[in-house]
Amino acid sequence: MHQRKKNETSRGNHYVIFTCPYRKNRNTIVHFWLVGKVQSFYQCKDSRYSLHFLAFVEIMKEHDAAGHDSSVPTVR
């Protein structure tokens, strides 16, 4: 959708933020956010013709939240 709006032909060099589930000890699942640079992006349809997306992402080295507002991500 972003590509269509911006009339772009490449799908790399975009930064994305996403959440990732992580199983801690005692089998508690915690969701945390990550930021990464998209290396390549694929879409495919399964046998029921449902559309799925797969993106290979280079994860940033350090993730944190801004001191003044925890909803503002900071990365390096």
pLDDT tens profile 2-57: 556 666 555 556 788 888 888 888 888 988 888 888 888 888 888 888 888 888 88
What was the pLDDT predicted at 42? 86
What was the pLDDT predicted at 72? 79
What was the pLDDT predicted at 76? 77
Q: Compare 62 and 11 and report the one with higher pLDDT.
A: 62
> Rounded CA gap, 51 and 40, in Å?
17
Torsion of CA 59, 64, 68, 70, to 10 degrees: 80
